Each structure stands twice: as structure tokens, then as C-alpha cells.
Amino acid sequence: MPNIERWPGDAKGRSRATAWRDLVFTVATAPGASVAEQTRASLARISKNLAEAGADNSRLLSATVYLTDIAHKAEMDAEWCEWIGGPESWPQRACVQAALAPGTLVEITVIAARR
């Protein structure tokens, strides 16, 4: 059975990315003053994590976006749509309102297929 690969994160007890067989799982948050800034920075981190694991944003299967205030969904969507590209790259995606760590306005998790 293939081993699970793990890329350590900054937080104790959590990986920023894991991979098993052809699947990559990653999560990101980032500092910023607005939902747009945090989304843009989080997506950049996700891009980095995916690249290290042998995937990219064109290979996304699923994504979940957590917002502290769902009223900011359009602001997040603008950054998401700029990052994700055309319909050939669109994953299944959910966006939900959730209580997040203080100062965190956006958290994004994705599952991607490796190249």
C-alpha cells in the first residue's frame, strides 16, 4: 500500500498538505486586512502546496471555502474566479459561513488530482 505523504505546516499537529496515491489535500489561511487580501494570499499558498505535491489549480476536484461572514462571498468569489481560470478547471465547490480563528476571515481547503 502506498505511503501517505505529509508536508508539515506552521501549526502543531497539522499538515499544510497531504497526499495519498493520486490525491492531494491542502488547506490555507493567510493574513490580510480584507477578505480579498486573505483570499488572494490563501490561494497563493494553495498553489505552492499543490505544486510541491505534484498538482496545480487546474487539477482541483473539490474545494470548500469558509468565511466568517457569508455577506463577503462576492468579494471572495472575485479573487477565486481570477485564480481558477476557465470552466475546464472548475471544481465542485462549497462556500459556508463558519467561526474561524481570530483575525481569520477566510479558510480554504481543496482536493486535487496529481499530474
pLDDT digit string, tens, across residues 4-52: 999 999 889 999 999 999 999 999 999 999 999 999 999 999 999 999 9
44-92 pLDDT tens trace:
999 999 999 999 999 999 999 999 999 999 999 999 999 999 999 999 9
Cα within 13 Å of Cα(59), Cβ side: 19
Given strand 23-28, what is the order of strands in its sheet?
5-8, 15-20, 23-28, 106-113, 60-67, 92-97
Show the domain range for 102.
Answer: 5-113
Work out the number of other CB atoms within 10 angstroms of the CB of residue 107.
Answer: 19
- pLDDT level of residue 2 (50, 70, 90 thresholds): confident
Residue labelled with grid coordinates 481558477: 84
Nearest to 73 by CA among 90, 58, 93, 89: 93
Tell me how many domains the chain contains: 1
The CATH code of the domain that includes 42 is 3.30.1330.40
